[in-house]
Amino acid sequence: MRRGTRIAGLGHHAPAGLVANAEIEQRLGLEAGWIERRTGIRARRHAGPDEAMSDLACAAAEMALSRSDLPRGAIGLTLLATSTPDHLLPPTAPLLAHRLGLTAGGAVDLTGACAGFLYALVLADGFVRASGRPALVAAANILSRRIDPDDRNTAALFADAAGAVVLAPSERPDSGLLASALSADGAGYDLIQIPGSGTRRGPDAAAGTGHMVMRDGRAVFSRAIDMMAHGCRSVLAETGLGMSDVTHFAPHQANGRIVAALEERLAITPGRTLSSFEDFGNSSAATIPFTLSLRATERDYRDGDVLLMAAAGAGLTGGAALFRF
């Protein structure tokens, strides 16, 4: 049987620690209002010292599973998109699945930076279609522990949050992922990085240490927009749909300037754009599922609605996906 896929449940979670712009601006000696004018971000959330990434992921996934109509024993795969795992080894996804009671399938981490959820969703959609079993896709990060608090380029942007999607089989073959256009550009490998955090490090660096560095913000800005815009046009061309057919647009919540520039490049009206960066900042891979879940009630996703997603991040990795509810 040719089957489609459907979103059976959405979930999101942000930690309680609210960090307003004024706190960062005062610490860095910035003029009041500087961050919001430059990024559109008003506040972000930071995890507490006793919170791990898996705690955030578990809370978002618990919400998504409870909102679905599926027994936990049905979940055949758990994918966790994160750049801040609980440990470098072992992977965190098996722990997440264990905590959620998902004992009947596999579980693995995916490190795709800000595009991690997009990659995980594409892989999960293929798994669900091939196996007929549902999958949990979670994305979570605690980036507050990877930013230099004295670096305004990262301290103002990055945050902690988690989002999750339960993807299930559908008897409607025209629902689910319609097209995807994933891309990678290793020529931009060092534009965003955490030096000293892996095997390519100096002899005095300790594994797992180091702060995030954005080497060239202008290059990140322009190349991210190019990558996302190209991906969006590719998936629309592949399906024969136009921008007017897109009901909901969920770009990676990098910052307000990138979202606005992408809307302009694609000629998409802001009223169709889902956003959360204003009050929650940039939590990397978590931003798309977090925003989808956060805005679900007010947007009332309906059968037949077309969702366009786009992301770009470190690596460079990115692309776009088109999904029909």
Annotation marks residue 114 as catalytic? yes
SS3 of 316, please? coil
Nearest to 253 by CA among 159, 324, 147: 159
Residue 251 tokens read as 């770009």
Establish whether 282 is a catalytic residue.
Answer: yes
Could you say which of 114, 141, 232, 248 is catalytic? 114
What is the per-residue burial (b if ≥16 Cβ within 10 Å, else e) of 92-114?
bbbbbbeebebeebebebbbbbb
Q: Is 58 a catalytic residue?
A: no
Catalytic-labelled residue, pool 21, 141, 255, 282: 282
C-alpha to C-alpha distance for 249 and 259, rounded to whole angstroms: 10
Please identify which of the residues 141, 248, 252, 255 carries the catalytic annotation: 252
Note whether 41 and 276 are within 8 A (CB).
no
Distance CA 317, CA 302 (A): 30
240 Cβ contact partners less than 8 Å away, ≥ 6 residues apart? none
Catalytic machinery residues: 114, 252, 282
